[in-house]
Amino acid sequence: MEDTTRLNESKLGTKKYWDDFYSVERVNFKENPEDTGECWFEDNGAEEGMVNFIVENLNEFNNKESSVIDLGTGNGHLLFELYENDFEANMLGVDYSAESVQFATDIAKAKEYPVKFTQADIFDSNWTPGEFDIVADKGTLDAIALSGLTVGENNQSVVEVYHSVIEKILKKNGTFLITSCNFTEEELIRIITKGQLAVSETIEYPVFEFGGVKGSTICSVAFVKK
Ligand SMILES: C[S@@+](CC[C@H](N)C(=O)[O-])C[C@H]1O[C@@H](n2cnc3c(N)ncnc32)[C@H](O)[C@@H]1O
């Protein structure tokens, strides 16, 4: 059977692309502090969907002792939205692009939001940020899948080992929430549930129909660590 979780390589899978991208966004922000950059999947309502899901369904983590990490945080917008929605957990955004981390830090400083950012490649085995109650991914696995990179002695694809990165940094009974535009719900579930993670819920988005085939342009799925 064809492995539909293998995507063709693209420049969106390179660190250089994201460094250049966020370097431009930083300049724009310096010139216009209202311009906090592109919000991935905004048109599809995905960020709103993810924030609402966390605020409404993961309320047990809405306190200063809990923690959220956003993988491939970009401009940090998802975490800023959570903060603006009175979510009180400690928030950390991680990205391998130093430009992204600087950009998101600049925005947090300007807005005086207590959100922290750090630079790391999430596949680096030396990266041990601790364990979090909520791990979020908005469009990051999509970008990772376009890198064509492999890790470890067995040359496993980064998509294949992605679930083990989540398992390493998610607390038991914690939630991993991911939104993707490159993978279907079924593919995401196949990629993520290879070890300790089990599906808990999916977020519904408007469905389009083309040529008699029904589909959604994006999907968000929540998983719980057993
Ligand atoms: C499609 S963008 C999404 C950014 C952000 N989550 C958003 O919704 O706006 C993908 C992000 O993942 C980051 N990224 C890609 N591979 C990464 C890796 N191996 N480790 C950490 N960050 C990575 C990129 O630098 C980029 O910021």
Q: Is residue 2 part of a domain?
A: no
Closest CA to 113 of 105, 121, 102: 105
Q: Say yes or no: CB of residue 95 within 6 Å of ligand 1.
A: yes
Q: Is residue 1 part of a domain?
A: no
Q: Provide, rounded to the nearest whole percent, the portion of the chain with pLDDT above 90.
A: 83
- Which domain range does residue 44 map to? 11-225
Beta-carbon contacts of residue 179 (< 8 Å; ≥ 6 apart): 41, 46, 49, 50, 137, 138, 139, 203, 218, 219, 220
Q: How far apart are CA 176 and CA 202, in angstroms?
A: 11
Report the CATH number at residue 55: 3.40.50.150
- Beta-bridged to residue 213, according to DSSP, are 210
To test the pocket of ligand 1, the residue of 39, 92, 96, 178 to mutate (highest count of ligand atoms within 8 Å of its CB) is 96
pLDDT confidence bin for 77, thresholds 50/70/90 = very high
Instruction: Tokens 């041990």: give the residue.
Output: 128
Q: Is residue 37 part of a domain?
A: yes
Q: Is residue 5 part of a domain?
A: no
pLDDT recorded at residue 204: 84
Q: Is residue 202 part of a domain?
A: yes
C-alpha dist (Å) from residue 82 to 70, 159, 175, 183, 185: 11, 27, 15, 25, 24
Q: Is residue 33 part of a domain?
A: yes
Q: Is residue 72 part of a domain?
A: yes
Q: Say yes or no: CB of residue 179 within 6 Å of ligand 1.
A: no
pLDDT, one tens digit per residue, over 2-55 is 666 676 778 898 999 999 999 999 999 999 999 999 888 877 889 999 999 999
SS3 at position 170: strand
Number of domains the chain contains = 1
Q: Ligand 1 atom 12: the closest Cα is on which residue?
A: 72
